[in-house]
Amino acid sequence: QVQLVESGGGLVQAGGSLRLSCAASGRTFSANRMGWFRQAPGKEREFVAAIGWSGEITRYADSVKGRFFISRGSAKNTLYLQINSLKPEDTAIYYCAADPLGGVRVSEYAYWGQGTQVTVSS
């Protein structure tokens, strides 16, 4: 199994930046595709970004392209999400997820962290 723990969230002003981290453990971690999702109050959990096993292939939701950047650590046991030019609509709980065949849908991921809160003030 895979264990995921997010960190790095906080309260920031619009236009600011954050770097989220997801620490992963488990014997199958390096073989998993990984992604970031977010869920705002009263809304469905939505796709943010995903990254392949090598860390070179990435995908982003249209709403975050050019502002958010997903990456893996060199040892592949840490996932990052660099968030720039934050907007109030980015406020949400951010979750990292892992699955051997994960794509852009919540249902495609078997392993999830507990989430980290990102709050953007205007």
pLDDT in tens, the chain (122 residues): 889 999 999 999 999 999 999 999 886 667 789 999 999 999 999 999 999 887 778 999 999 999 999 999 887 789 999 999 999 999 999 999 999 999 999 999 999 999 999 999 99
pLDDT in the model for residue 29: 65
Report the alpha-carbon distance of residue 18 to residue 6 in Å, rounded: 13
pLDDT of the residue at 28: 66
The amino acid present at 3, given as its one-letter code, is Q
Task: For residue 74, count other CB atoms closer than 10 A to its CB.
Answer: 8
Residue 1 has a pLDDT of 80
- CB burial of 14-24 (b: ≥16 within 10 Å; e: otherwise) equals eeeebebbbeb
Q: What pLDDT shows up at residue 17?
A: 98
Whole-angstrom distance, CA of residue 68 vs CA of residue 118: 13
Q: How far is CA 46 from the centre of its chain?
A: 11
Looking at residue 38, what is its pLDDT? 98
CA 121 to chain centre: 20
Tokens 């951010």 belong to residue: 94
